[in-house]
Amino acid sequence: MKTKFSLQDKTVLLTGGGNGIGKAISTTFANQNAKVHLLDVDMKAAEETVAEIEKKGGKGIAHSCDVSDSKQVIQLVKKIEEIDTIDILINNAGIAHVGNVEACEEEDMDRLYNVNIKGVYHCIKSVIPSMKKKRGGVILNLASIASSVGVSDRFAYSMTKGAVLTMTYSIAKDYIDDNIRCNCISPARVHTPFVDGFIKKNYPGQETQMFDKLSKTQPIGRMGQPKEVADLALYLCSDEASFITGSNFPIDGGYINLNSK
């Protein structure tokens, strides 16, 4: 008997699936009986995540892929499509940059553009033909609160995540008649290894105080957890969300609407 939010017989292509939010999505979707293809530049992390999935009886396959490289993406998608039909694409891979426009060099812009924008473009363009052919599919992009509101010292990052949001709207509009749904999730600060590494590098000896300060930037008083983002992703990619497309879903502890500062 099929349970609610089941992904039985669904194949998922997930970028950045080895760490943080991507890892939580990988394991959550596998627990719902999806077959998950994890794309990551960090193969060690991807393989460790697959091992966790398989230990619980799930199905996961790790692939080394730099999403900024169109040839790698095209070749890998073709390889996967030889054995599986891709039902769900989740564009999670992304990189960050801290700084305003004066602190953002051209190389920084290019680096973020190549991963956060072109990476999403490469993956969507690679899976759209097969989704059109089978008359259906789901695309979920990871945007950010920085797509919608101003965030201090996130110039380049905000630019790229704004593009992810508008790409989401374009794909949803252009392919609605092909039964392809496209939505995005916009997290605020989520407690991932990246956050811990950032604090340790920039605030040595003040880790506890800075973690508390960053947590309180969300009105709810804490950071989000990767599993919370993964659960929202699960709903949006499930058949239960079949009436939802072209939408942006903040998961932000009240940051966008409740922050008065």
- Residues labelled catalytic: 157
Task: Report the alpha-carbon distance of residue 93 to residue 21 in Å, rounded.
Answer: 9
Torsions phi, psi for 179 (to 5 deg): 65, 35
State the amino acid at position 64 in one-letter form.
Answer: S
Torsions phi, psi for 9 (to 5 deg): 70, 15
Task: Report the alpha-carbon distance of residue 23 to residue 235 in Å, rounded.
Answer: 17
Q: Which residues contact 30 (CB under 8 A, 6 or more apart)?
A: 36, 53, 56, 58, 59, 60
Q: Are 10 and 36 in contact (CB under 8 A)?
A: no
Q: Are 195 and 215 in contact (CB under 8 A)?
A: no
